[in-house]
Structure 1
Amino acid sequence: MPLRGFRPGGPRREESNPVGGFGASTEQDQDRGPESAPARSIDRGERLRGLGLGIRLVHEDDDVIVVDKPTGVVTAVMLTEGGLPSSTPCVFGQIKRHVKMRSRRRGTRVWIIHRLDKEASGLLVFAKSEAAYESLKEQFRTKRVHRLYTAVVEGELQGQGPQATGTITTFVAEGADGLMHSVREPARHARDGGRDDSAGHDNTPQLAVTHYRVVEVGPSRTMIQVRLETGRKNQIRVHMSEMGHPLIGDWRYRGTGPKECDDPMGRVCLHATELGFTHPTTGESMRFTSPAPEEFRRLTRRGGSRTPETAEEPAPERPMPQVSNSSWDHVAGWYDQLLKHGRSDHHRDVIMPGTLRLLELKPGQRILDVACGQGILTRKLAESGADAVGVDASEKLIDAARRWAKVAARPARFEVGDARAIDPKLGEFDGVACVMALMNIDPILPLMRGVTNALKQGGRFVMVILHPAFRAPGRTSWGWEYERSRRGHRMGGPMESEQSETPPRQYRRVDGYLTQEPTAIVMNPGEVSSGKEPITTWTFNRPIQAYVRAVAEAGMVVDAIEEWASARRSAPGPKADEENRARREIPMFLAMRARKM
């Protein structure tokens, strides 16, 4: 009987300390993700093998190499003006030299996966094969890598004691001064594209999401843990500085000279503490830890021996330039008129009936409609006998909802509030719904946690979104395939072959799915073509797994997933039957129900 976990021909391992926690994961760990895998901790008291420049080798096998970088050393150097590598010592150069010496042959290659700032220290992973490089880059692109940092910032975070958490979400771009800055409005199509850290040299604003957790608070300094959802250049330094709490020793982002900066250690107090990923060859979940320098704790004048757990992802608690302005005040009038005149047949014929069915509504139950808009669903719930409450961040839409409620058959309550910070004063509910809104909200985990807190035990949460795979704005589109292209080589798009006896086939083209990115949506394209001003909102494209993960992390269990097709029918014509077939076959909406367990 073969041993489970034994992989003939698998990568050879070279561990810094095979006995001290750097060995292979146990059999039970094989199915866990990078965040839950046992940590391979670096004991700074042990003699780890060095690569020069103070770089410590943490783990090495045939595919990957993990190192602990000291402060003051760059990850990799840029080319000179003549296109030649700079002679400046760097981590990448030392690793290439190490790998070449071990293999004793020329042509040995190493691939850069991500970077750390020169002023920072901590864990980095490099690839030793092209397959490993592609696998790791894909994991970074799809945000499946676990990265945790420890930092010390100036000042005391107001009103935030130990274990307090927060999320900072902005777009960042490089300014004329060479520093990164948050911008309030990104470019029309600010694509995430999976680029990590300082990769990519265009100046398109990039989505940056930082989750932080307070560890210790001193008289004038605070130690925090930071978990990155994205990995932009200088991201942590930018976000904390703009929050009013620059990192200790970071005079560049503090906006002062070195002499005016709080710099007791002669370095930026930022350390990459944890790094987790799935091994490119074995599929094993790997996680490594490197405790922050003990001097970090001394700066807050409090001791401690344990590295805290991963940071949470709550709603933002401080005013920051937000990616997602969840308020639709600027489109409220247009949106109200759209539904008032019945132009949204999708709501009437598909979304509303399906949502009410999944909610399993019973008379007298309390139901919360999150991001309710002008209250279409809330009023339907009230008409069905529910004690209905609607919440939305847009004051104008809530005003419209209250006007409609005055003439409704049954009363419903409406409140202004951010979906990412559901007010506990609203009480407990038997069910919660969020219909056609989650695509416009970022981040979504705070909303999911708020839903869990608002639900009674066993309560239902129903969410409806545009289908992320088939109807993602800017990523999917309709196309036609004709007889000529099916018989020969495939050719997409319109093709004149009306003489063919075989009717054309309509298909849905998908150009992207896994990459999470924001897309600007013009809500009134027909009116724009007639010369009117565009009404624009932002949609955050996410794969289905992102929604399921958020539901699970919030403490709920998915018990139903449905995919709903459009109920529209084409006007009579030569292509009507095929259009109707494609519309029935390829769903437009994804509905998911979860329960609080």
Structure 2
Amino acid sequence: MTEWTNDAAIQRWGAMPRTVLEQTALDGDFAKRHLINPVLLRMLGDLTERRVLDAGCGNGYLSRILAGRGATVVGVEPGQSLFDFAVEQETTAPQGIRYIQADLCDLPNLGGPFDAVVASMVLPAIPDWIGAMRACVHALKPGGLFLFTVNHPCYEQLWPTWREHGEYRTHRYLTEYEIPGPNGVDFHRTLSTYLNQVTRLGCHLTELAEPGLDPDATAHGPDGIDAYVHLPNFLIIAARRTT
């Protein structure tokens, strides 16, 4: 496996084309819209006057959704094209979101602790993911909520394998490996790796979600998306800081 650094990963993700950013500017891609966003928003609950960190906010779509629900939002994004796009959207239609360009492992002063920190589909893309998770947890108030989403370690690359075979197939799980994508690289890590680390950081788990796609939504998705009806492609974890 290639020896990736955070800087190299940031540079790769930060070159994402503007066309991709525009296509996902409202509420993310199909999977985020139908599988991730509804669960995250349910877990977060009432956001009125709550201070939320969108850790690895990308093009800012989730930050804008959270601000629209009454949260005071800080979005951190290191990738250049994503950060620039998020700032541009805030300049065009201000919602009071503060965007900061920084590596999650090296956060500047963000103005005090947060009621909630969300890291959606971020940790799998970070070589030093433990440092990033630690920073997210330390940014919370005691009792604050940490939500993170990852590709489900048991069912990664579900969509392409389903399209090819009509079922899910895998041949490895226990070792870390790269998952190349069109705009960057994710890293496979086991379910226990993520869960054990968040508990080591002084959090207790409150909920795990493995969302499945509503069969009615398959009519609006790409070919092969019915795989998401049968198997979960994403894992969503909620935990509270106890120390």
Tell me how far apart the structure 2 counterparts of residues 455 and 343 of structure 1 sit (CA, whole Å).
Answer: 25
> Which residue pairs with 2:81 in the alignment?
396
In 1, Cα distance between equivalents of 2:150 and 2:125: 10
Cα shift at 1:565: 2.1
Match of residue 564 from structure 1: 211
The alpha-carbon distance between structure 1 residues 461 and 332, as it changes in their structure 2 partners (threshold 3 A), is: farther
Q: CA deviation at 1:347?
A: 2.2
Q: Which has the larger radius of gyration?
A: 1
1:324 Cα offset (Å): 5.1
Q: Is the 8 A contact 2:77 2:100 kept in 1?
A: yes
Amino acid of the residue matched to residue 9 of structure 2?
A: N
**Could you report, residue by residue, the CA deviation over 1:39-86 in whole angstroms, capped at 9, with x for unpaired residues?**
xxxxxxxxxxxxxxxxxxxxxxxxxxxxxxxxxxxxxxxxxxxxxxxx
CA distance 1:592–1:418, shift in 2 (3 Å):
same
- Choose the corresponding residue for 2:10, options 317, 326, 341: 326
2:201 aligned partner: 554
Shift of the 473–508 alpha-carbon distance from structure 1 to 2, 3 Å rule, reads closer
The alpha carbon displacement at 1:584 in A equals 1.4
> What amino acid is aligned across from residue 355 of structure 1 in structure 2?
L
User: Comparing 464-473 with 512-521, which one deviates more in the overlay?
Assistant: 464-473
SS at match of 1:549: helix
Shift of 1:466: 1.6
Query: 1:512 and 1:380, CA in 2 relative to 1: closer, same or farther beyond 3 A?
Result: same
TM-score (ref. length: structure 2): 0.86
In structure 2, do the counterparts of structure 1 residues 361 and 444 end up closer, same or farther at CA, with 3 Å as the change threshold?
A: farther
**2: CA distance, partners of 1:399 / 1:583:** 32
- Asked whether the 8 Å contact 1:393–1:418 carries over to 2, the reply is yes
**Aligned residue in 2 for 1:513:** 173
Determine the C-alpha separation between the residues in 1 that align with 2:19 and 2:25: 10
Query: What is the SS of the residue equivalent to 1:347?
Result: helix
Q: Deviations over 1:291-332 (max 9, x none)?
A: xxxxxxxxxxxxxxxxxxxxxxxxxxxxxx658523422115
Matches for 1:404-483 after TM superposition, within 5 Å:
404-408=89-93, 410-472=95-157, 477-478=161-162
| Bigger relative CO (Cα 8 Å, ≥ 6 apart) | 2
Q: How far apart, in 2, do the equivalents of 1:436 and 1:546 lie?
A: 16
**Percentage of matched positions with identical amino acids:** 26
Matched, 1:374 2:59: yes
Q: Partners of 1:479 and 1:333 in 2: how far apart?
A: 28
Q: In 2, distance between residues paired with 1:342 and 1:427? A: 28
Number of equivalent positions: 237
2:24 to 311, 315, 339: 339
CA distance in 2: counterparts of 1:378 and 1:565, whole angstroms: 24
SS of aligned partner of 1:410:
coil
Following TM superposition, the consecutive aligned residue runs of length 4 or more in structure 1 with deviations greater than 3 angstroms are 321-324, 340-343
SS of aligned partner of 2:99: strand
- How far has the Cα of 1:570 moved from its partner? 4.3
Of the three residues 31, 34, 49, the one matched with 1:364 is 49
- What secondary structure, in the 3-state scheme, does the structure 2 residue paired with 1:356 have? helix
Q: Is 2:236 the partner of 1:587?
A: no
Q: Does the 8 Å contact 1:479/1:508 carry over to 2?
A: no
CA distance in 2, matches of 1:550, 1:324: 24
- Residue type at the aligned position of 1:356: L
Q: Which runs of 5+ in 2 are unaligned?
A: none
* SS across alignment from 1:385: coil
Is 1:541 aligned to residue 226 of structure 2?
no
